[in-house]
């Protein structure tokens, strides 16, 4: 396994792979640092550029974006007190106070190095568990796959947002989108309303791009022309010089906390749609609970920065595990990666690691090298990124929308996908305004076809419905689906009693 | 009884689910295949209809705590309208002309330039976005961007 990883690293060190990785990481850091530009948005922008590349080149670029984005968010969190993205919120709790106390370099580099070490620990988990998990999944029949996908969907629907009924409804809408087009058995058109370009079905990438790009852009557009005060515009870049040996020692001298919070990040990454932001906050919370001085949290304590940043980068490793072992995206970024792979005719899932070892170990290698590249980029350009984040949204948004159109159009060079993008943009915004979470919808769109195919396949093999419950893994997964919804209901009730129901906490 | 925002959302989804469910009844089963094309869509649409109904019921019986929104919805509508126009114009004007018009139109809508420098930034952004995206995608990434039916450009 580790020989293959070394081969992968050697392979990835070739310029043709390393350059996309480095550019992707740079774009990720810049995108991550820009408040309001999420990792999903950044990876969507990069997506069309990957169509003309080899699969590994494209994936290296996307993994770079992912890693860079998770780390880039801490720049503005620590120095401006504005989280670059949701997964840097908890970093701000201690990073910004530390910077305000006159230690901006220490705050920033504690976060960067914690991201690096957390990311490496997540990488070890990724390499160590993907293969074994994939071999378990190889024993799955259509009953188990059906149950697994239903479990993933029910978890996302239950754990995102304030209302379980809204989460489940959003997932169901996603499934409805996938039944439009030809049926998978006989190829008979369904629910196409006579529109020719719907006969081929609705590909999930334009749906994903439309739903996310518009819901995020429009949320910002809604606020434009209202806020007058922008602290970023009056910001003066401080001196960021620091002793890296001291900073690294500060992190490594807390091995238990680093390991535990990285594990929390990985675990959350494995769960579909509960990504970096939950990892960031939960790890912070864990570090505070286990600390001898919890009262210091929020005042600029290094533990707060280390825990939150280690977790959001190790979370990337966890997200990659589920997509590589099961073909289920852990979050929106891996959903876009899944789309990029399918464009190249590669289907992630249990067979992926054995059928595409070069690509699989290339992904692992890109993950590890991406963290080194991220450190190098931070060394060279952290001061400049603070300038770039001042680019007005009025310039950024048109460019992003043009790239969204190119991304949708380039999928198969037809306007049909651009129309889907447009319709889904309106749908996504309408759903957000209606209070429905987007994560279950997207997972529904991604898994819908597979759920149908496996349901039909299992029933055509044996029409005994009890098999879904009597086959051990399938029964266990369906039981877990019910349990996850029940848990979400219980959690929701508890939160309601406390009066602390949150709207949408998903990373999709 | 007045419906809340959730109630209206539920009602819209319920109506769409029922209409689509009705359409699945017109799908004909194939005698060679035990499971027809309408089997799975009916399950999914049935589930979405039930969930939408649940949302309506919850919104009617639950507590109502809707905050008044101060969102700039006029600007949102304007951005959607410009994007609709852009997508509509793409097959007729082609990527280069449509993009060159779309980018400044949206920029000016989002933040009206008040100085000559501001206008220069708008023009430069439009030009750079159009040229760079065209050259990069068409020349280097083998992505064929839309040509205009009217302009052949």
pLDDT of A26-35, one tens digit each?
A: 999 988 888 7
B76 touches chain A (CB under 8 A): yes
Mean pLDDT of A339-360: 87
pLDDT of A247:
94
pLDDT at B94 over 50: yes
**Each residue of A273-332: pLDDT tens digit?**
566 777 888 889 888 888 888 889 989 999 999 999 999 899 989 989 988 998 888 788
pLDDT at A505 over 80: no
pLDDT at A492 over 60: yes
> Cβ separation of B87 and A405 shorter than 8 Å?
yes
Report chain A's mean pLDDT, rounded to a whole number. Answer: 87
Please give the model's pTM, rounded to 2 decimal places: 0.86
Of A152 and A273, the one with more pLDDT: A152
Mean pLDDT of A487-495: 80
Residue A235, CA atoms < 13 Å, CB-side half-sphere: 24
Residue B32: strand, helix, or coil: coil
> Cβ separation of B90 and A225 shorter than 8 Å?
no
Identity of the residue in B8, B73, B87 whose CB atom sits nearest the CB atom of A418: B87
**Chain Cα centroid distance, residue A374:** 18
**Each residue of B24-38: pLDDT tens digit?**
999 888 787 778 899
Under 8 Å CB-to-CB from A26, ≥6 apart: which residues? A64, A68, A377, A381
pLDDT of B2:
73
Contacts of B9 in chain A (CB under 8 A): 431, 434-436
> Cβ separation of B40 and A51 shorter than 8 Å?
no
pLDDT of A230:
56
- How near does any CA of chain A get to the CA of B151, in Å? 17
With the C-alpha atoms ordered B5, A332, A448, B26, is the resulting torsion angle positive or negative? Answer: positive
Of B6 and A162, the one with more pLDDT: B6
Contacts with B, A 44-103, CB within 8 Å: 48-49, 51-53
- How near does any CA of chain A get to the CA of B104, in Å? 8
Predicted confidence band of residue A504 (pLDDT cuts 50, 70, 90): very low
pLDDT of A310:
94
Mean pLDDT of A147-163: 79
**Each residue of A235-255: pLDDT tens digit?**
666 777 889 999 999 999 999
Q: How far apart are the first and last CA of chain A?
A: 31
Mean pLDDT of A177-205: 88
pLDDT of A506:
46
> Cβ separation of A434 and B140 shorter than 8 Å?
no
- How near does any CA of chain B get to the CA of A221, in Å? 6
Q: Is A345 left (phi over 0), alpha (psi -120 to 50) or beta?
A: left
pLDDT at A38 over 90: no
**Each residue of A359-418: pLDDT tens digit?**
999 999 999 999 999 999 999 988 788 777 778 889 999 999 999 999 899 888 889 999
Describe the crossing of helices A472-498 and A142-159 by its angle, rounded to 10 degrees.
0
pLDDT of A232:
55
Of A131, A121, A125, A78, whose CA–CA distance to A103 is shortest?
A78
Do residues A66 and A21 touch, judged by C-beta distance below 8 A?
Answer: no
B77 touches chain A (CB under 8 A): no
B103 touches chain A (CB under 8 A): yes
User: What backbone torsions phi and psi does residue B85 show, to the nearest 5 degrees?
Assistant: -65, -40
Mean pLDDT of A201-214: 89
**Each residue of A55-83: pLDDT tens digit?**
999 999 999 999 998 888 888 888 888 77
CA distances from A445 to A427, A459, B31 (A): 13, 22, 29
Predicted confidence band of residue A94 (pLDDT cuts 50, 70, 90): very high
B23 touches chain A (CB under 8 A): yes
Q: Measured between alpha carbons, how far is A265 from A44 in angstroms, rounded to an integer?
A: 23
Total residue count of chain A as it appears in this document: 508
pLDDT of A443:
85
Of A195 and B3, the one with more pLDDT: A195
**Interface confidence (ipTM) of the complex:** 0.94
> Cβ separation of A222 and B83 shorter than 8 Å?
no
């Amino acid at each position: 396994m580790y020989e293959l990883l070394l081969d992968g690293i050697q392979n990835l060190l070739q310029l043709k792979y390393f350059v996309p990785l480095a550019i992707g990481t740079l774009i990720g850091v810049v995108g991550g640092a820009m408040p309001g530009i999420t990792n999903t948005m950044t990876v969507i922008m990069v997506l069309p550029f990957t169509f003309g590349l080899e699969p590994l080149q494209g994936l290296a670029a996307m993994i770079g974006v992912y890693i860079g984005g998770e780390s880039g968010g801490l720049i503005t969190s620590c120095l401006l007190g504005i989280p670059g993205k949701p997964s840097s919120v908890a970093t701000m709790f201690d990073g910004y106070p530390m910077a305000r106390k006159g230690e901006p370099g220490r705050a920033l580099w504690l976060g960067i190095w914690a991201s690096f070490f957390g990311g490496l620990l997540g990488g070890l988990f990724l390499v160590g568990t993907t293969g074994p998990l994939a071999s378990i999944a190889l024993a799955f029949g259509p009953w188990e796959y059906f149950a697994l996908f239903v479990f993933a969907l029910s978890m996302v629907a239950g754990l995102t947002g304030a209302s379980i009924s809204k989460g489940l409804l959003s997932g169901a809408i996603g499934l409805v989108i996938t039944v439009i087009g030809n049926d998978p058995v006989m190829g008979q058109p369904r629910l196409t309303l006579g529109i020719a370009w719907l006969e081929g079905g609705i590909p999930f990438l334009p749906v994903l791009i439309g739903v996310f790009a518009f819901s995020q852009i429009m949320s910002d557009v809604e606020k434009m022309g209202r806020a007058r005060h922008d602290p970023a515009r009056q910001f003066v870049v401080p001196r960021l010089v620091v002793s890296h040996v001291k900073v690294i020692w500060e992190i490594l001298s807390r091995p238990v906390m680093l390991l535990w919070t990285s594990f929390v990040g990985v675990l959350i990454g494995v769960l579909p749609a509960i990504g970096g932001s939950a990892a960031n906050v939960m790890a912070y919370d864990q570090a505070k609970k286990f600390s001898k001085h919890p009262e210091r949290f929020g005042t600029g304590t290094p533990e707060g920065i280390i825990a939150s940043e280690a977790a959001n980068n190790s979370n990337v490793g966890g997200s990659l595990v589920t997509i590589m072992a099961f073909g289920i995206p852990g979050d929106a970024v891996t959903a876009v990666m899944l789309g990029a792979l399918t464009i190249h005719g590669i289907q992630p899932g249990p067979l992926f690691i054995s059928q595409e070892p070069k690509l699989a170990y290339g992904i692992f290698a890109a993950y590890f090298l991406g963290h080194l590249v991220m450190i190098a980029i931070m060394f060279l350009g952290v001061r400049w990124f603070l300038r770039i984040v001042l680019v007005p949204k009025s310039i950024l948004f048109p460019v992003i929308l043009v790239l969204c159109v190119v991304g949708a159009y380039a999928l198969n060079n037809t306007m049909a996908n651009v129309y889907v993008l447009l319709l889904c943009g309106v749908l996504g915004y309408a759903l957000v305004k209606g209070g429905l979470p987007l994560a279950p919808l997207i997972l529904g769109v991604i898994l819908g076809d597979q759920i149908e195919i496996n349901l039909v396949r299992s029933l055509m093999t044996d029409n005994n419905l009890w098999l879904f419950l009597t086959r051990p893994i399938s029964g266990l997964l369906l039981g877990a689906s019910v349990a996850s919804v029940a848990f979400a209901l219980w959690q929701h009730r508890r939160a309601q009693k406390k009066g602390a129901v949150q709207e949408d906490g998903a990373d999709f | 009884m007045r419906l809340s925002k959730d109630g209206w959302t539920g009602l819209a989804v319920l109506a769409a689910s029922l209409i689509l469910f009705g359409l699945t009844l017109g799908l004909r089963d194939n005698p060679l295949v035990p499971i027809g094309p309408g089997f799975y869509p009916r399950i999914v649409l049935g589930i979405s209809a039930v969930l939408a109904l649940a949302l309506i019921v919850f919104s009617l019986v639950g507590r109502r705590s809707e905050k008044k929104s101060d969102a700039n919805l006029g600007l949102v509508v304007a951005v959607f309208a410009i994007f609709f126009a852009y997508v509509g114009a793409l097959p007729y004007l082609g990527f280069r002309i449509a993009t060159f018009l779309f980018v400044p139109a949206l920029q000016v809508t989002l933040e009206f330039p008040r100085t000559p420098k501001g206008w220069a930034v708008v023009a430069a952004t439009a030009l750079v976005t159009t040229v760079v995206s065209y050259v990069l995608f068409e020349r280097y990434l083998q992505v064929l961007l839309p040509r205009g039916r009217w302009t052949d450009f």
